[in-house]
Amino acid sequence: MPIHRIAIGAPAEASHPDALKAALAEFFSMLIFVFAGQGSGMAFSKLTDGGAATPAGLIAAALAHALALFVAVSVGANISGGHVNPAVTFGAFLGGNITLLRGILYWIAQLLGSVVACLLLKLATGGLETSAFALSSGVSVWNALIFEIVMTFGLVYTVYATAVDPKKGDLGTIAPIAIGFIVGANILAGGAFDGASMNPAVSFGPAVVSWTWTCHWVYWLGPLVGAAIAALVYDNIFIGTHHHEQLPIADY
């Protein structure tokens, strides 16, 4: 990875109106995504009287997350780039598509959006638990770590191919739905094992509200490693130094 692509950013960027608007867009996109995704799981639990997860419940969760992420990415795309995920922001930073300071603003907004969404869900449901992500029986932390790395690799690779690559052409118009689809598909693949987070913020909100931190580090390390691998592979092999350009949003 050419090191000159990584940018720290000027201190004034932290208070620049465009950066603050972008962070606010990430906050609302994350709130929309987590409220719908986490809420679908809570609704299923209520309908089944807290029963064990079933194949139907897994399909419902995958569909809810796919649709909600499609919308969340779409509504933020023209303002912040529609990251809706600290791992995506990290991958964009490694590829030189966002500065470190703007990335930190995004992270703060994304984490706050997730926490607020879970608090609103708890309030709206009369105090029902916003369950933190957890490993299924027989699944070790190393199994879960591999799942999170591979699933997030697929997600960030899709982001690069459909939203970041300057050669994407008309493919960019389907980026939000492609991103939603890969998350939904990954939930079908890994949801029964570790919940299939692929997103540290999505794991962070429920963990804060329920104050449950068991194996929480897996849902940070796995997505960040997967995002880094995807960003470095796609940026260096398929974009290269002669075709590099920033995400199509405000100047960084």
User: Where exactly are the structural domains of the chain?
Assistant: 14-239
pLDDT of residue 234: 96
Read off the pLDDT band of 26 (50, 70, 90).
Answer: very high
pTM (two decimals) = 0.92
pLDDT at 252 over 60: no
Domain 14-239 in CATH 3.40.980.10 = no
Contact (CB, 8 A) for 152 and 222: yes
